[in-house]
Amino acid sequence: MNMTAADWDEVDLLDKDEHIEQASRAMKAMSHPLRLKILCVLGDKEVSVQDIVDHVGTSQSNISQHLAILRDKGVLRTRKDANRVYYRVGDTRTLKLLGMMRDVFCGFTK
């Protein structure tokens, strides 16, 4: 979408500092190669920690540390079912960004 000068007048980012800060924290968290790989595995699905470990190919403790960072920065949400923990992307805006990242960096589309 091409924005005109009039369109930009309507976008007042200074009034959206909270959104800018959240986006900055999320992008910093997503910028690590292993975390990007985790996000490529998740996409728009809910996936258990064990399934993430199986797809990413590193230790569960390493994956858990990176999942905690993504969760703490507001990128991921969790759901616990008995002794399994499931992760999903927690925000539709992040899903849009992730869709673009998957297209560009993960080698496939949704």
Express each pLDDT in 51-107 by its tens digit: 999 999 899 999 999 999 999 988 999 999 999 999 999 888 888 887 887 778 766
Residue 14 counted as domain residue: no
- Give CA–CA dist 101/79, Å, rounded: 24
Helix (H), strand (E) at residue 88: strand 84-89
Q: Which residues pair with 85 in a beta bridge?
A: 80
- The pLDDT of residue 108: 56
The CATH number linked to 94 is 1.10.10.10
- Residue 63 sits at the vertex; the CA angle it makes with 71 and 84, to the nearest 5 degrees, is 75
Residue 6 counted as domain residue: no
Work out whether strand 47-48 and strand 84-89 pair parallel, antiparallel, or are unpaired.
Answer: antiparallel
Residue 12 counted as domain residue: no
- The pLDDT of residue 43: 84
Residue 3 counted as domain residue: no
What distance, in Å, lies between the first and last C-alpha atoms of the chain? 21
Work out how many domains the chain is built from and give that number: 1
The boundaries of the domain holding residue 90 are: 19-106
